[in-house]
Amino acid sequence: MPKAPKPQLVSANDLLEGHVLYLGREGVWTTSRQQAAVSTDKDELDALAAKASATRQVVDVAHVEVTLEDGGTPRPVTLREVIRDRGPTNRPDLGRQADPTLLQTGSEAEGTAHV
């Protein structure tokens, strides 16, 4: 019996700044994971990513498996992507975790790591 596809989003790194970006529902790269397009259809995400990547603004485009929290906020499943999203675990003063305005979900705003 085939497994049901899991929700994914598309992530990449900003070519000039190095920031983690997410492919938004409008086909535009955004720093907000909450605004990322989430789908179980890999082909749909690939088509959206190809269109958005035509601007050559990003590198390392990849699909990231996510779960959806209450309210529909996507959250990375793997530890690698959690760290990539938040910042280094040994330097809480760096990365997205250093800016509380970028961590918009309740549990993340409290500084709780979900790994």
The listed range with the strongest mean pLDDT (44-53, 68-77, 101-110) is: 68-77
The count of other CB atoms within 10 Å of the CB of residue 56 is 7
Assess contact for 74 and 85: CB atoms under 8 A: no
pTM, two decimals, is: 0.78
Identify the band that residue 102 occupies on the pLDDT scale cut at 50, 70 and 90.
Answer: low
Question: Which residue shows structure tokens 């690698």?
Answer: 80
Tell me, what's the pLDDT at 114?
34
Region 56-76: mean pLDDT is 91
| Maximal C-alpha separation, the chain | 46
Adjacency order of strands within the sheet including 29-30: 29-30, 20-23, 8-14, 58-68, 74-76
Secondary structure of residue 41 in the 3-state scheme = coil
